[in-house]
Structure 1
Amino acid sequence: MDTRIPDEAPARAGRREWLGLAVLALPTLLVSVDMSVLFLAVPHLTQDLQASSTQQLWIADVYPFMIAGFLVTMGTLGDRIGRRKLLLIGGACFGAASLLAAFSTSAEMLIVARALLGISGATLAPSTMALLSNMFKNEKERGTAVAVWSSCFMFGGILGPIVGGLMLSWFWWGSVFLLAIPVMALLLIVGPSLLPEYRAPDAGRLDLPSVALSLLAIIPFIYGIKAYARDGLSAAAGVTVLVGVVFGVLFVRRQLRLDDPLLDLGLFKIGVYRSVVLLGFLVGIMMSGTLLLVNLHLQMVEGLSTRAAGFWLVPGVIATLAAISVTPKLGSTFRPAHVMAAGLLVTAAGCVVLSLVPGTDGLAVIVTALVLINVGLAPMVALGYNMVLGAVPPEKAGSASALSEANGEFGLAAGIAIMGSIATAVYHSGLSLPAGLPADVAAAARENIATAMEAARQVTGPMADGLIASAREAFTTGLNVVGIVGAVMFTALAMLTAHWFRHVPPTRDSEPEPEPDTAEAPA
């Protein structure tokens, strides 16, 4: 007879942990909101600060650049000095930078403030996610906590333009940054009593050359891809991407030589972790470009304002929140592989609907497609993050979380370039210009739908109507083709997901005995 005493089940979370989750959810939401809160404020601040077109781009882009560049560093730093400590430091800096941004008196000052917001924001996301692994030891409860965290992260991007529009209805453009002040004040007041501290035992020193190499790899690479997506292929875009790749190779080589690296590449030997990271990268590629095209379609084809377009995205967000809320229950009943694969098939169905969007009056079709796409992605996001936290050693949770999120930034940037290029090629081939159109107007119309709409103002009558109709039809065809590509890709990802995670059991009330890590993904 087996007389072994079974291991005690992990302690269930109490009131303190659930209140702590609410505290962690707010900065997570805020970091995501700040990605898009400036969409409506740019015209106002441009006029007030006399910002040039180049300065406008940097005001918008420097924040995500800094977040992407510093994610790996901050995730590892939190493991070394303490995750709560880094979170509180980052929260204080985020609040101070928000004040600086709100009361900026020049474009240069606002660019600096946005850069500081990005650096401090990079401390928040990996710290909040890693702390979940310390607060929720029970696997099912951790799944619920991760679902709440991921809901906030996904909801913030859509909430940004809506909140920005409401604030601008009553206040000046700088008010959009003041939202951070009460949130960060609450974090600093109650965080020390509700959040646990954790730092990795025997943590080594931060390798500053590795920090520099990571920044020189990530920021130029993402900048080059975004420049390509915005302006097309150019020498500047190609050179910056190449610079990023070269420094990326140097960074990897240094990590392999160090006894205590900034980024532990050994994490990729964990099959579940490797598979989740790869899946997140591929989904990011598909979704970022698709959502960009949908936003453009709502404004350029359907003729909606930025604020109205943001409101029409809300049904998809509500559907996402509903799907994420039931995902932990599904994950405890069925294997994650089955739940995630089924979700990706729903997303594929949404892409099929997207391929049917008509050139006129397609709003209902687009909203239906977005609801299906977002509902299908919810299990992958919630269960994927939970599997990351469950698969990696506790002392590596911060760096593992940061790498997962940085990988997502790479996917988003690459997706805008890849999906945007496909849609642009279809737009060029499908555009039919009216006869007699002036050469300069025709040249502008061929670039993209935004310049075509602007060029149509230079002509009148049937010629303008014909140009607008042709541009809208060509752009919609490009969106339809991207929908077909998405349907094929998400179907393939569903099959890969069912294979990669087939050995991962449903979540339980207690931690299972360690099992061989047999999840598969390309090395």
Structure 2
Amino acid sequence: MTHATQTPRLAGRREWIGLAVLALPLLLVSMDMTVLYFAIPSIASALQPSGTQQLWMIDMYGFVLAGLLITMGNVGDRIGRRRLLMIGSAIFGLASVTAAFATDPTMLIVARAVQGIGGATLMPSTLALVRNMFQDEKQRRSAIAVWSTALSAGAGLGPVVSGLLLNNFWWGSVFLINVPAIVLLLVLCPVLIPEFRLARGEAGRFDIASCVLSLGGVLSVIWGLKEITVNGFGVLPAVAIAVGLVLGYVFVRRQKTLSHPMINPELFRNRDFGASLTVSLACFFCMIGSGIFTTQYLMEVLHMSPLEAALWTLVSPVVVTIAVPFVTVVARTVRPAYIIAAGFLVGTVGFLVMTQVGTDRNMFVVVAGTIGVGLGVAVALTCITDMVVGAAPAEHAGSAGALVQTGQELGGALGIAVLGSIGAAVYSANFDATAPHNVPAAALDAARQTVAGASEVAHQLPAAQGNALVAAAQEAFTGAVHIASLSGAAVALGTAIFTIALLRRIKPTPPQSAVKDDNQAKEVREPAAV
């Protein structure tokens, strides 16, 4: 028997307008990863949290989001990706209001956790809906370029939005800014976005054990990496990472035994898919890892205000937003591996430029370096996301998208841990070599921890001692940026070589595969309301 086939349906005006709607939650989720960077001092003054509570205010959102991505991707495949997007948006909006009016640290931490639950529904839902709405290869690539740009732009906009709001309003405004966008999404989503879900009988029973394994594995690894960043390498974080890896292995093994797995086990057997996930992880390693020093450098070495520093860091996302759409044009004729490798080579150059920063106010070096890293990673991320999502069956787009984003979260945590630890070690060693000898031991100990600590303790010393201490700390921190940037360049260059070695066989525009009637039956599509 010959199966009937059909040409992939071309997206029309409604789908492209719907894509703009889908970009809204993605902007919000990525903004909320960074929006507290400048708001924490105001929050600390109002709520009086302990040091540990401050860390949880920042980290709780990302922890919960990363841990639930795989589970929520699978839930979206079952109940409908549009439905999950709307439920998650409502949760995210209500949690944002609660966070804005929190009256104590615990209330804010809980609200951030609930925001993470909502965020975990939004990210895989948006990527899966893009996969479903744009079935044509070229259109999907363009749509994913928009998706990737929104993800990158949101992270860059977070500090800027935070700085602008804090200059005019109270700290809760950094959370309330989410609410109008959420309301707009809830109104437009049923009108513009069609529903996609697994057909009846295809979903099977929801596997609680897989949910627990994925949650435990991801949280253990990310907590261990963050603990290493804050307190250095130790037994407890090493054990946490090991436990997380074991849970991840058990999760993968379990998927192979289930009749209706949470993640299609065929994806784990696909070498191209695995290599693409690794490259996607490296993208976020470079992007997040490079950002941990930039803001500190601008504020502590170049003495910028928080808002001024945030505005300078916005230059790179603006350039990325303009440049990334052109990637889709090049991708029509050039193999994706070459584009991805070229992106990482640009990122390598950006990291190398950052090794030239000094204690003088030479903004050209900083801007050129951040643009190089940001643009290179964004180019690579656009192509690699399209490759990963395109490799997964449409009916499991939510689960595949969640797997991509979980890898990206792990990559970001790994970038912070590795480059942050390298930078901290180099800073301490450099400071010990150049620290002034006539400064009290307590002041030296505080300055040895961070460059911000040096600036703070310097105000308590005589002018000559304070200036000497700050100068030594700035020199030490600049040296740390150099070594961390060299390490980032090595990772970017290695990823470029890895990409060429393993993914160069993939052609630029593979022929559209015929869609069989029996495969179409695995997924249900419900049109938008009008």
Q: Could you say which TM-score interval applies, normalised by the shorter chain?
A: over 0.9
Work out whether residues 123 and 402 of structure 2, in 8 Å CA contact, stay in contact via their aligned partners in 1.
yes
Q: Which residue of 1 aligns with 2:367?
A: 367
Q: Residue 233 in 1 paired to residue 236 in 2?
A: no
Moved more, 113-122 or 185-194: 185-194
Q: Which residue of 2 aligns with 1:304?
A: 304
**How far has the Cα of 1:7 moved from its partner?**
6.0
Secondary structure, in 3 states, of the residue corresponding to 2:304?
A: coil
Amino acid at match of 1:269: R
**How far has the Cα of 1:114 moved from its partner?**
0.9
Call closer, same or farther: CA 1:59–1:21 in 2, change over 3 Å: same
Amino acid at match of 2:346: V
**How far has the Cα of 1:243 moved from its partner?**
4.0
Work out whether residues 286 and 373 of structure 2, in 8 Å CA contact, stay in contact via their aligned partners in 1.
no
**How far has the Cα of 1:148 moved from its partner?**
0.7
How far apart in 2 are the matches of 1:38 and 1:482?
24
How far apart in 1 are the matches of 2:169 and 2:46?
14
Secondary structure, in 3 states, of the residue corresponding to 2:425?
A: helix
Q: Which residue of 1 aligns with 2:7?
A: 9
Work out whether residues 286 and 419 of structure 1, in 8 Å CA contact, stay in contact via their aligned partners in 2.
no
Alignment of 1:446-465 (within 5 A): 446-465=448-467
User: What CA deviation, in whole Å up to 9, does each residue of 1:13-46 have, x standing for no partner?
Assistant: 1111111111101111111111111222222222
Work out whether residues 283 and 380 of structure 2, in 8 Å CA contact, stay in contact via their aligned partners in 1.
no
Structure 2: which 5+ residue stretches go unaligned?
A: 516-530
Alignment of 1:3-402 (within 5 A): 8-201=6-199, 202-402=202-402
Amino acid at match of 1:370: T
How far apart in 1 are the matches of 2:167 and 2:359?
32
Secondary structure, in 3 states, of the residue corresponding to 1:64?
A: helix
Q: Which residue of 2 aligns with 1:519?
A: none
Q: Which residue of 2 aligns with 1:480?
A: 482
Moved more, 210-219 or 28-37: 210-219
Moved more, 26-35 or 163-172: 163-172
Call closer, same or farther: CA 1:81–1:310 in 2, change over 3 Å: same
How far apart in 2 are the matches of 1:269 and 1:305?
50
Q: Which residue of 2 aligns with 1:498?
A: 500
Work out whether residues 270 and 392 of structure 1, in 8 Å CA contact, stay in contact via their aligned partners in 2.
no
**How far has the Cα of 1:6 moved from its partner?**
11
Moved more, 361-370 or 261-270: 261-270
Secondary structure, in 3 states, of the residue corresponding to 1:10?
A: coil
How far apart in 2 are the matches of 1:353 and 1:360?
15
Q: Which residue of 1 aligns with 2:522?
A: none
Work out whether residues 152 and 378 of structure 2, in 8 Å CA contact, stay in contact via their aligned partners in 1.
no
Work out whether residues 6 and 514 of structure 2, in 8 Å CA contact, stay in contact via their aligned partners in 1.
no
Work out whether residues 282 and 492 of structure 2, in 8 Å CA contact, stay in contact via their aligned partners in 1.
no
User: What CA deviation, in whole Å up to 9, does each residue of 1:386-428 have, x standing for no partner?
Assistant: 1112111111211111011111111111111111121222222
How far apart in 1 are the matches of 2:369 and 2:301?
16
How far apart in 1 are the matches of 2:448 and 2:286?
25
Work out whether residues 225 and 241 of structure 2, in 8 Å CA contact, stay in contact via their aligned partners in 1.
yes
How far apart in 2 are the matches of 1:398 and 1:46?
38
Secondary structure, in 3 states, of the residue corresponding to 2:225?
A: helix
Amino acid at match of 1:488: A
Moved more, 215-224 or 241-250: 241-250
How far apart in 2 are the matches of 1:403 and 1:320?
24
Secondary structure, in 3 states, of the residue corresponding to 1:458?
A: coil
Secondary structure, in 3 states, of the residue corresponding to 1:35?
A: coil
**How far has the Cα of 1:302 moved from its partner?**
1.1
How far apart in 2 are the matches of 1:422 and 1:48?
34
Structure 1: which 5+ residue stretches go unaligned?
A: 515-523
Secondary structure, in 3 states, of the residue corresponding to 1:292?
A: helix
How far apart in 2 are the matches of 1:212 and 1:258?
15
Call closer, same or farther: CA 1:461–1:316 in 2, change over 3 Å: same
Moved more, 448-457 or 19-28: 448-457
Secondary structure, in 3 states, of the residue corresponding to 1:332?
A: coil
Amino acid at match of 1:511: Q
Work out whether residues 7 and 514 of structure 2, in 8 Å CA contact, stay in contact via their aligned partners in 1.
no
CA RMSD of the aligned region, Å? 2.1
Q: Which residue of 1 aligns with 2:520?
A: none
Work out whether residues 298 and 363 of structure 1, in 8 Å CA contact, stay in contact via their aligned partners in 2.
no
Secondary structure, in 3 states, of the residue corresponding to 2:33?
A: helix
**How far has the Cα of 1:172 moved from its partner?**
1.9
Amino acid at match of 2:30: S
**How far has the Cα of 1:242 moved from its partner?**
4.2
How far apart in 1 are the matches of 2:496 and 2:238?
33
User: What CA deviation, in whole Å up to 9, does each residue of 1:431-486 have, x standing for no partner?
Assistant: 21112221112222222222222232332233222221111111111111222222
Q: Which residue of 2 aligns with 1:489?
A: 491
